[in-house]
């Protein structure tokens, strides 16, 4: 009997190992390929501790990246036709010759250091190798200054190391999880979501600080709907309560930390009553939540968050979070923060890289002294010819990052791009950034290529294989091939001494005593840990700071001319009729890259602006009505956005999900749906410590009628 259940496609022929490239979590999975050579579905690899066989909606829907009809199909070269800029299809040969010629010119005229790379994701590595071989280490990514940089810097200053990515938070075994500016469950960082669910099962206390009732807040024992921009006051007050109510872990602090007396003196006046007036969080709630943290300690995590560039004092806020974790004894204890361990994959042999005569540090001109990674914005700034610009950048390669919707300070970005002698964009999709390129190179998706082994250190050391499930569609090619081809044309072929990247993986696996055949079969190789995940009792544990101790008081910050301990600074508040623009994630989308993915858009085709019912009433806004948003500098959103009237948000703020409002027509589905937060972020507070671009200091108001602005789209 014929049943309605079951597959109607051709039967599954094989399962091919991959790891996901929709977000940075890189969950291991299997692409199920049918006898007709189609990818039917992608499922998680049960042996992968990052996903435990369960991909998130974006990973499950990753096949939509492969099957997207709008994919880049051939190389494109910019031409002028009838006075207008447009693109023509080109062969790979032509595109490479064009790029190699320009890169040679730049190297001769300005030096190879004048080429920069903006990258995100697995493909960045090959272009990094290309630039390193060419003679530049001006390699940068928005993931630092626009995202996790403040957090990493704050934690490095305190503990001597960052919390890594994926984060080394031991949520699975925590008894108290504090989320402040982190919405796990809406940010679908798979392992963390799974562990939070496990923690809920085990009865852990969750405390969520958010101006919005996030999904996580709705699952929390305490929701602290804080007045935005005042988080540091709450954190300082928690530190005050832990110290002055004798709730901190004395043994741990005495053994592993230094600067406690200075900290105690510093927070003396930061009482819950003081914080109440700033944060709107009641003193007894501050005390009760501090007590909950202490009761569960050291199995308590004050989550470091991820997108932490908010107000320009973000390293200091992250420092306060780190200090709280230190006072509770979380770092190095079960249910707190564990020590990571990974497998070191040997480098495929290549000649030594030439030493560049200057690098991104030289573009700082004394600013941002504690930036350990390169800052996108200073590279962008260095790309604008100006007097005093002694280290000019002349060409960019952009790989896997849509700078137009990820970088604030649009004017600077536009000016820089107009000044470039060469802009090469490598992507799978015609993102906004491809519209500014001299040459566009179509990369194949992660499902159509080999890539580096995934060997990210975490709780359990693992290796994961990504191999092609199907041949690349259209003319698209893997990034390793693209980098190698450009390299060869620049006389750098020795740095890419392989015909197929498969050879590199095969060689690496052999060095590790494995074989490609075995990895193809298992996908994930798990190893037993060789080092403890937590501080052993009675061990003389040394932290990775200069003194080996946790820095409650930071000499390093003091010497660089910054506050040695975090202070609260009042930030600008919205004027009447304006609301703070807060933005975040939805679980079915990633960055701005999934808004055109047909497998995901049905779940959320556009974003909506969250408005408190009292605000809606004041403005006469109705559910599902479309409005334009205008910010404090008069910038109006390109498109209108649906109103969502909800009790889940404060009345001084509005919220939108990031990644919508695409204005590039070749994204045929995503075009014109929703609004893009970055176009409304024109007031950017830069963190003087490491150059993070604080983006939460922008305010918007509603335009109910079609704004009469010139449509340039």
Q: How far is the CB of 272 from another protein (least distance, A)?
A: 18
Report d(CA 629, CA 63) in Å as an integer: 34
Q: How far is the CB of 203 from another protein (least distance, A)?
A: 11
User: Within 10 Å of residue 613's Cβ, how many Cβ atoms?
Assistant: 14
User: Within 10 Å of residue 134's Cβ, how many Cβ atoms?
Assistant: 24
Question: Which is nearer to another protein, 216 or 243 (by Cβ)?
Answer: 216
Question: Which is nearer to another protein, 40 or 573 (by Cβ)?
Answer: 40
Question: Which is nearer to another protein, 319 or 589 (by Cβ)?
Answer: 589
Question: Which is nearer to another protein, 213 or 675 (by Cβ)?
Answer: 213
Q: How far is the CB of 5 from another protein (least distance, A)?
A: 4
Question: Which is nearer to another protein, 6 or 634 (by Cβ)?
Answer: 6
Report which of 188, 213, 95 is spatially closest to residue 486, judged by C-alpha positions.
Answer: 95
Question: Which is nearer to another protein, 57 or 574 (by Cβ)?
Answer: 57
Tokens representing 253 are: 């602090």
Q: How far is the CB of 242 from another protein (least distance, A)?
A: 25
Stretch (H or E) spanning 242: helix 231-244
Q: How far is the CB of 337 from another protein (least distance, A)?
A: 22
Q: Are 336 and 298 in contact (CB under 8 A)?
A: yes
Q: Are 183 and 584 in contact (CB under 8 A)?
A: yes
- Tallying the residues shown for the chain, one arrives at 713
Q: For 379, list phi and psi in degrees, rounded to 5.
A: -70, -40
Strand 222-224 relative to strand 115-119: parallel, antiparallel, unpaired? unpaired
Question: Which is nearer to another protein, 53 or 392 (by Cβ)?
Answer: 53
Q: Where are the alpha helices (DSSP H) in 297-430?
A: 314-328, 376-382, 403-406, 410-419
Q: How far is the CB of 234 from another protein (least distance, A)?
A: 15
Question: Which is nearer to another protein, 219 or 334 (by Cβ)?
Answer: 219
Q: How far is the CB of 4 from another protein (least distance, A)?
A: 5
Report d(CA 552, CA 248) in Å as an integer: 13
Tokens representing 369 are: 């002294």
Q: How far is the CB of 281 from another protein (least distance, A)?
A: 10
Q: How far is the CB of 13 from another protein (least distance, A)?
A: 16
The CA-CA-CA angle for residues 703, 411, 653, to 5°, reads 40
Question: Which is nearer to another protein, 152 or 210 (by Cβ)?
Answer: 210
Stretch (H or E) spanning 108: helix 92-110
Contact residues: another protein, CB under 8 A: 1-9, 40-44, 51, 53-57, 60-61, 63, 185-186, 188, 190, 193-194, 196-198, 200-201, 213, 215-216, 218-219, 223, 225, 587-588, 598-600, 602-604, 612-613, 646-651
Question: Which is nearer to another protein, 60 or 128 (by Cβ)?
Answer: 60
Phi-psi region of 110 (alpha: psi -120 to 50; beta: other; left: phi over 0): alpha
Tokens representing 574 are: 């919205």
C-alpha distances out from residue 508 to 48, 346, 454, 504, Å: 20, 6, 12, 6
C-alpha distances out from residue 179 to 7, 206, 209, 306, 316, Å: 42, 8, 6, 11, 17
Strand 653-657 relative to strand 579-584: parallel, antiparallel, unpaired? parallel
Strand order in the sheet with 84-89: 84-89, 76-81, 439-442, 422-427, 395-399, 115-119, 139-140
Q: How far is the CB of 291 from another protein (least distance, A)?
A: 21
Q: How far is the CB of 229 from another protein (least distance, A)?
A: 18
Tokens representing 174 are: 């925590």
Question: Which is nearer to another protein, 576 or 647 (by Cβ)?
Answer: 647
Tokens representing 280 are: 């709107």
Distance, C-alpha 409 to centroid of its chain: 18
Q: Are 442 and 429 in contact (CB under 8 A)?
A: no
């Amino acid at each position: 009997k014929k049943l309605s259940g079951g597959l109607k496609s051709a039967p599954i022929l094989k399962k091919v190992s991959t790891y996901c490239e929709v977000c940075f979590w890189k969950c291991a999975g299997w692409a199920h390929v049918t006898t007709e050579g189609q990818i039917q579905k992608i499922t998680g690899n049960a042996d992968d501790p990052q996903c435990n066989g369960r991909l998130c909606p974006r990973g499950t829907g990753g096949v939509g990246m492969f099957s997207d009809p709008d994919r880049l199909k051939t190389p494109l070269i910019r031409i002028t036709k009838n006075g207008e800029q447009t693109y023509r299809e080109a062969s790979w040969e032509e595109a490479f010759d064009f790029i190699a010629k320009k890169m040679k010119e730049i190297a001769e005229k300005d030096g190879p250091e004048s080429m920069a790379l903006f990258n995100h994701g697995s493909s960045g590595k090959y272009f990094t190798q290309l630039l390193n071989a060419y003679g530049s280490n001006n390699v940068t990514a928005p993931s630092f200054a626009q995202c996790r940089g403040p957090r990493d810097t704050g934690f490095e200053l305190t503990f001597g190391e960052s919390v890594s990515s994926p984060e080394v938070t031991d949520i699975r075994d925590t008894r108290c999880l504090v989320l402040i500016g982190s919405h796990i469950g809406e940010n679908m960082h798979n392992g963390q979501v799974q562990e939070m669910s496990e923690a809920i099962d085990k009865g852990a206390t969750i405390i969520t600080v958010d101006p919005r009732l996030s999904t996580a807040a709705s699952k929390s024992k305490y929701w602290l709907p804080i007045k935005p921009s005042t988080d540091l006051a709450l954190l300082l007050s928690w530190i005050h309560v832990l110290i002055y109510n004798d709730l901190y872990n004395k043994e741990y602090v005495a053994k592993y930390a230094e600067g406690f007396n200075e900290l105690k003196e510093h927070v003396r006046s930061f009482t819950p009553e003081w914080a109440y007036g700033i944060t709107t969080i009641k003193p007894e709630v501050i005390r009760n939540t501090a007590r909950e943290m202490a009761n569960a300690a050291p199995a308590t995590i004050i989550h470091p968050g991820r997108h932490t560039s908010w107000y320009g004092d973000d390293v200091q806020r992250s420092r306060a979070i780190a200090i709280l974790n230190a006072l509770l004894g979380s770092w190095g204890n079960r249910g707190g923060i564990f020590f990571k361990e990974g497998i070191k994959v040997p480098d495929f042999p290549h000649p030594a890289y030439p030493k560049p005569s200057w690098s991104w540090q030289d573009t700082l001109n004394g600013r941002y002294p504690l930036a350990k990674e390169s800052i996108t914005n200073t590279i962008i700034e260095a790309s604008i010819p100006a007097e005093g610009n002694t280290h000019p950048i002349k060409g960019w390669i952009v790989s896997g990052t849509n700078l137009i919707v990820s970088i604030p300070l649009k004017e600077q970005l536009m000016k820089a791009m107009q000044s470039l002698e060469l802009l090469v964009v490598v992507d799978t999709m015609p993102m906004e950034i491809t519209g500014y390129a001299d040459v566009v190179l179509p990369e194949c998706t992660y499902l159509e290529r080999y890539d580096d082994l995934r060997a990210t250190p975490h709780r359990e050391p693992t290796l994961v294989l990504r191999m092609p499930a199907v041949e690349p569609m259209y003319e698209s090619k893997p990034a390793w091939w693209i980098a190698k081809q450009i390299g060869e044309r620049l006389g750098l072929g020795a740095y890419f001494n392989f015909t197929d990247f498969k050879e590199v993986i095969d060689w690496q696996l052999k060095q590790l005593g494995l074989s490609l055949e075995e990895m193809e079969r298992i996908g994930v190789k798990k190893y037993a840990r060789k080092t403890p995940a937590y501080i052993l009792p009675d061990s003389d544990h040394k932290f990775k700071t200069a003194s080996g101790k946790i820095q409650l008081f930071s000499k390093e910050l003091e010497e660089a001319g910054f506050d040695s301990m975090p202070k609260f600074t009042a930030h600008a508040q919205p004027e009447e009729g304006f609301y703070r623009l807060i933005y975040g994630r939805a679980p079915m989308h990633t960055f701005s890259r999934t808004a055109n993915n047909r497998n995901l858009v049905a779940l959320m085709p556009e974003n909506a602006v969250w408005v408190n019912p009292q605000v809606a009433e004041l403005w006469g806004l109705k559910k599902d009505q479309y409005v334009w948003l205008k910010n404090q500098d008069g910038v109006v959103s390109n498109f209108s956005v649906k109103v969502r009237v909800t009790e889940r948000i404060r009345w001084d703020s509005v919220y939108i999900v990031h990644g919508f409002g695409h204005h590039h027509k070749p994204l045929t589905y995503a075009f014109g749906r929703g609004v893009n937060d970055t176009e409304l972020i024109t007031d950017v507070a830069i963190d003087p410590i490491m150059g993070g671009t604080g983006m939460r200091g922008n305010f918007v108001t509603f335009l109910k009628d079609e704004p009469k602005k010139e449509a340039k789209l």
